[in-house]
Structure 1
Amino acid sequence: MSNRLVLTLAGTVLVGAAALLSAPASAQQNPVGQPSPRISVTGEGEVGVAPDMAILNLTVLREGETARAALSANSEAMKQVLAALKEAGVAERDLQTSGLSIQPRFAQPGKERNVEPKIIGYTVSNAVTVRVRKLGDAGAILDKAVSLGVNQGGGIVFLKDDLKPTLTEARKLAVADAVARAKTLAEAADIKLGKILSIEEQSIMPRPMPYGGPMRMAASDAAVPLASGENTYRTQVNVVFEIAP
């Protein structure tokens, strides 16, 4: 009985060893759960486009002996500015109050110490953001607004109203750039690219970049000459490729 048991166990060990020797080589090289070899690259796409819209930041600043007097003077001036903007063709939806501030003005401190600061008046500022969709009108609108009471601010940004076609083109260029980079790296490493495993776009919204090329006049006949230039929009994608066996 004991001899038969020993022989049976020995046979089992031999069968197990034979099974290990006959296991496929791929199973020994790529254990279960281990990711396949891969290569990751980042591609960039850049597209330059002329803007077709301007955003103006305009502020009316008024002073008065009291807060009410300063606010009333400011409100009257801002009403005239808004009316002129609408008359110039700016739609109601393109006008938005972006800030209102009421601040006291203090007398200059003298030589005396431990003296309470004295209020001698108030300053009221009212800021409005204006979207000018007819780029050629931006200079004339800015000139008109200043003549009617705008006396602070004046910031201007040129943008593209519909960015979808521009960003679509930038994404295509970014993916093409990633594929080209991956091919270069694979050739240098003497490996073959497999299928694309994932494509991920950067979540940051592309912003217009200054362009140093020739400038286009946005309002050549206006009292305030403006140059809109060209904006460059960039995007990035991360692409992961499988390495072919």
Structure 2
Amino acid sequence: MTRSRWARAVAAAAALVLAGGLAACGSDGPAPTTDPPAVTVTGTGEVRGAPDTLTATVGVSTQAGDVSTAIAQAGSRVQAVTDAVVRAGVARSDVQTEQVSLQPQYAGSLPGAGPSITGYEATNTVQITVRDLAKASSVLGAAVDAGGNDARLSGVAFRIDDDSRLLGDARARAFDDAKSRAEQYAKLSGTSLSRVLSVQENVTGQDQPLATDRTAQAATVPIEPGQQTVTVSVTVKWGLR
């Protein structure tokens, strides 16, 4: 056999070995996998309870020709608001500064000139927490009276200070609802539930806002706490067997 024929034979044998190795690798690879059977359902639980706490944002907005006067007037008015609600029965620790802002006020510009600053508006707001709802109406009335025509009342909302028991009841009802649905689907598919694979929760109704926005004096602010609904929605994934 000549040298050239010998080289061609060696090359052909090497190609056959390589092809065989690739075929073997392909046949020994892992088989395609599929997710184990499972069912995912959402359950809902609702419970109702009486709110025991009210929160409200009370502020004042004043205008003056210079920054210092605007800030001083707003600070003085909001201090009067704070003192008034404390006298009405709110603990001073339940009055917290929420926002302080200062904005320039502009007048129309003359032709060829930019707008000019004519004064400043200062706003100072506090959040009040009323833990005795029997005093809530008089507290809000005292706040807007102390602020006068500069008073701003907003963000009034009821809530349950400790809603852990209600949340626990709502969670139990939501999970039972989800499990009942999952068991029905398992029965329809000829399987049964195994272990829980995942749980996701969503809670609503922990605050009950009121549509309140007052800017004038008021001797009393009528309120009705009513009932508050706490809703838990839970999405649970069970394995099937």
Pick the TM interval, shorter chain.
0.7 to 0.9
Deviation at 1:205, TM superposition (A): 4.6
Relative to the length of structure 2, the TM-score reads 0.74
Identical counterparts, % of pairs:
29
Aligned CA RMSD, in angstroms, stands at: 2.4
Bigger CA drift: 114-123 or 125-134?
Answer: 114-123
Matches within 5 A, 1:173-192: 173-189=173-189, 191-192=190-191
Question: What runs of 5+ residues in structure 1 fail to find an aligned partner?
Answer: 1-30, 212-221
- With over 3 angstroms needed to count, the CA separation of the structure-2 counterparts of 1:209 and 1:89, relative to structure 1, is closer
Residue 195 of structure 2 contacts residue 239 of structure 2 at CA under 8 Å; is this kept in 1?
yes
Relative to the length of structure 1, the TM-score reads 0.73
Residue 61 of structure 1 contacts residue 151 of structure 1 at CA under 8 Å; is this kept in 2?
yes
Matches within 5 A, 1:27-38: 36-38=36-38
Cα distance in 1 between the residues matched to 2:182 and 2:224? 40
Residue 40 of structure 2 contacts residue 238 of structure 2 at CA under 8 Å; is this kept in 1?
yes
Bigger CA drift: 191-200 or 95-104?
Answer: 191-200
Q: Which runs of 4+ in 1 moved over 4 A?
A: 31-35
Cα distance in 1 between the residues matched to 2:196 and 2:220? 57
Aligned residue for 1:148? 146
Match of 1:226 among 202, 220, 223: 223
Deviation at 1:206, TM superposition (A): 3.1
Deviations 1:158-187 (A, max 9, x none): 111001111111110011001110122223
Aligned residue for 2:232? 235
Residue 47 of structure 1 contacts residue 232 of structure 1 at CA under 8 Å; is this kept in 2?
yes
- With over 3 angstroms needed to count, the CA separation of the structure-2 counterparts of 1:59 and 1:37, relative to structure 1, is same
Cα distance in 1 between the residues matched to 2:207 and 2:59? 26
Amino acid at match of 1:137: K
Amino acid at match of 1:241: W
Residue 45 of structure 1 contacts residue 236 of structure 1 at CA under 8 Å; is this kept in 2?
yes
Matches within 5 A, 1:60-139: 60-107=60-107, 109=108, 112-139=110-137
Aligned residue for 2:212? none
Deviation at 1:126, TM superposition (A): 0.2
Matches within 5 A, 1:155-170: 155-170=155-170
